[in-house]
Amino acid sequence: MSLEEAFAEPVLVGFVMAGDPSPGESVEYAEALVDGGADVVELGIPFSDPVADGPTIQRAHERGLEAGVDTDSFFEIASEVRDRTGAPLVTLCYYNLVYRRGLDRFVDECEDAGVEGVVIPDLPVEESGPMIEVTRGSGVDVVFLAAPTTGDERMRRIGDAASGFLYLVARAGVTGARESLDAATAGLVERANRNVPGVPKAVGFGVSRGEHARRIVEAGADGVIAGSVFVDLVEEGDLAGVREKAGELRGGMDSARNES
């Protein structure tokens, strides 16, 4: 299944860090995500200065680096995840890693490993021209982020550049699981659907419960993204918990669809 095909229905995107706590175990956690109900795997590349991430995912970056994962081994892990799960892959990475690798080489390696989308949280749309040019005509989408503070005009500009899907940040700040979903999320989804037609919208940052997932789908989003809640379970060594949490989030999404 491709990323585009996955978004034919509301999609659950589950995040784990490559190499956390070891290369082989991170593949097993990715499999658990898919077994539990995730449609797409978001696989992080460990980085020394993950400015958009909260403490939970920062620790995952540290564990991945301690396990010796670099960009070379990331693509080996990604290829194995794709082979073993069959799920579409996107990667979350920081632009320094892409730039140092070389944009053409990085995109080519994404295609070879089965990575269909790249989320680069520190690449603003205003500076994305070279990345857009390199990915044009490739099988790799550039996924941009929009937050509650993103104005309509800038959101339309982001939408013009975005492909694959638009990553809607449910609240201001860094990543991290939360007990409640920000009240502004429904309004953000509505504005995104109005200003960026034709590009799927997926909501992340703070999603940790089935109820959150249900409300996101009810608000009109095409996908739910969960990261820190899974990384917490990886840190605890709870493989079964990752599978169960993915099932809980999937159940919340399905309940919203059944009620509509």
Beta strand pairing call for 166-169 and 141-143:
unpaired
Q: What is the mean pLDDT of residues 167-177?
A: 63
Share above pLDDT 70 across residues of the chain, in percent, rounded to a whole number: 94
pLDDT in tens, 79-123: 999 999 999 999 999 999 999 999 999 999 999 999 999 999 999
Report d(CA 226, CA 223) in Å as an integer.
10
Q: Residue 51: is it exposed, middle or buried by C-beta count within 10 angstroms (0-12/13-18/19+)?
A: exposed
| Distance of alpha carbon 108 from alpha carbon 104, whole angstroms | 6
Identify the CA nearest to 167 among candidates 190, 189, 191, 143. Answer: 143
Q: Please, which residues have CB within 8 angstroms of residue 136's CB and are 6 or more apart in sequence?
A: none
Whether residue 35 lies in the annotated active site: no
User: Does the pLDDT value for residue 39 go beyond 80?
Assistant: yes
Tokens of 244: 């169960």
**Mean pLDDT along residues 214-240:** 96
Name 129's Cβ contacts closer than 8 Å, sequence gap at least 6.
none
C-alpha to C-alpha distance for 86 and 80, rounded to whole angstroms: 10
* Res. 206 pLDDT band, cuts 50 70 90: confident
Residue 167: closest CA among 110, 107, 123: 123
For residues 216 and 207, the answer to whether their CB atoms sit within 8 Å is yes
pLDDT at 184: 80
CA distance 202 to 32: 21
Tell me the percentage of the chain whose pLDDT exceeds 90. Answer: 88
Q: Helices (DSSP H) in the chain: which residue ranges?
A: 3-6, 23-36, 55-66, 71-85, 95-101, 103-113, 129-135, 152-161, 185-195, 210-218, 228-236, 239-259
Mean pLDDT for all residues in the chain = 93
Cβ-based neighbours of 172, under 8 Å, separated by 6 or more: 147, 148, 149
* pLDDT mean over 24-39: 98
- Per-residue pLDDT, 112: 97
Residue 177 — pLDDT band, cuts 50, 70, 90?
A: very low
Residue 182 has pLDDT above 90, yes or no: no
Residue 260 confidence (pLDDT): 55
pLDDT band per the 50, 70, 90 thresholds, residue 181 = low
CATH 3.20.20.70 fits 3-259, yes or no: yes
Give the pTM.
0.94
Residues 212-230 as b/e (b if ≥16 CB within 10 A, e otherwise) read bbbbbbbbebbbbbbbbbb
Under the banding of pLDDT at 50, 70 and 90, the label for residue 72 is: very high
Mean pLDDT of 175-186: 59
Sign of CA dihedral 125, 129, 130, 132: positive
Catalytic residue among 31, 39, 42, 141: 42
Phi, psi of 201 (to 5 degrees): -115, 130
Q: Is the pLDDT of residue 257 over 90?
A: no
Instruction: Find the catalytic residue in 53, 116, 141, 222.
Output: 53
Is 53 designated active site? yes
DSSP string of 170-190, one letter each residue? SSSSS----SS--TTHHHHHH
pLDDT tens per residue across span 121-138: 999 999 999 999 999 999
